[in-house]
Structure 1
Amino acid sequence: MKIHIAAAAVSVTAISTLLLTTGPASAHPYDGKDPYRSGCASSKVYTGKSASLKNEIGDSLGTIKLYYSRRCGTNWGEAQVAKNATGHIRVFTSTKSRSFTYRAGNGGHHWGDMVYAPSGVCAQASGGVSAGIGRVNHGSGTTGKACG
């Protein structure tokens, strides 16, 4: 009897290990990848969806735009902010998202990681910016949905 219990324990451990290493079924190789390093940005198109990154009194501190790669079937956000600004970019669908934090520099042009969103899947991008101390130097915004 002890031999059967030990075998069952090994099987449960093996199954648990397998489940932890395989990851979610919805993961795609492009999820979380840089659109420029991967080559996906070479076929990028602007979706026509953008938003101002506004502070609490309505001043714009930058812009976030949603892009799509025809070759890769992916979406990502790109922010244009002040050179000294920091912040984050998030791209999301109804089932998954990826976030990216940017530091000051790069001329104020930053992009986030991709989410695989092939034809028929809707995506959005959101961003946040911090251009100094105080609430008026912090802004955020979210684009409208673009459905491939």
Structure 2
Amino acid sequence: MKIRVAAVAVSAAAISTLLLNAGPASAHPYDGKDPYRSGCAASKVYTGKSASLKNEIGDVLGTVRLYYSRRCGTNWGEVRVSKNATGHINVFTSKKSRSFVYRAGNGGHHWGDMVYAPSGVCAQAQGSVTVGIGRVNKGSGTTGKACD
């Protein structure tokens, strides 16, 4: 009986050590990766969720759209803004998020990094834009949730 108790204690300690070294359960190899470089964008589907990037007086400075990769089970956001604009693209679920900073160029089409959100996990994208100096030249917007 004492031997069995000691074996259980060692097993629990070994399991505890393995779990501590394994890293967070929410980490996935696609988290934080570029959807186009990874090949995930080849199976992209527009989720139907988008938002205008509006400034404080309601002027539209761009749009953000949420995409999903059927092959990779990931989501990311893409913005369309002025080619001179800068900003951020965020994609998030209830448990994790990824943020990407974009700079002027690329014809105003930018995309953020992916977050793994397989079928049934809801995701949203948020974008911000700056096209000059002053508050009226800054805007943001957040898409609705998509639960592909």
User: Which of the five TM-score ranges fits, normalised by the shorter chain?
Assistant: 0.7 to 0.9
C-alpha RMSD over aligned residues:
1.4
Equivalent residue runs for 1:104-143 within 5 Å: 104-143=104-143
Q: Which 5+ residue runs of structure 1 have no aligned equivalent? A: 1-14
Partner of 2:125: helix, strand, or coil?
strand
Supply the AA of the counterpart residue of 1:68.
Y
1:61 aligns with 2:61: yes
Matched pairs, number: 132
Structure 1 residue 23: deviation in Å? 2.8
User: What's the counterpart of residue 3 of structure 1?
Assistant: none
Supply the AA of the counterpart residue of 1:115.
V
User: What's the counterpart of residue 89 of structure 1?
Assistant: 89
CA distance in 2, matches of 1:48, 1:142: 13
Structure 1: which 4+ aligned runs deviate by more than 3 Å? none
Structure 1 residue 24: deviation in Å? 1.1
Supply the AA of the counterpart residue of 1:101.
V
User: What's the counterpart of residue 42 of structure 1?
Assistant: 42
Deviations 1:103-129 (CA, angstroms, capped at 9, x unpaired): 000000000000000010000000100
CA distance in 1, matches of 2:124, 2:22: 27
CA distance in 1, matches of 2:22, 2:35: 24
Q: Which 5+ residue runs of structure 2 have no aligned equivalent? A: 1-16
Supply the AA of the counterpart residue of 1:69.
S
Structure 1 residue 25: deviation in Å? 1.1
Give the TM-score, by structure 2 length: 0.86
CA distance in 1, matches of 2:80, 2:69: 19
Supply the AA of the counterpart residue of 1:108.
G
Supply the AA of the counterpart residue of 1:78.
E
Deviations 1:76-108 (CA, angstroms, capped at 9, x unpaired): 000000000000000000000000000000000
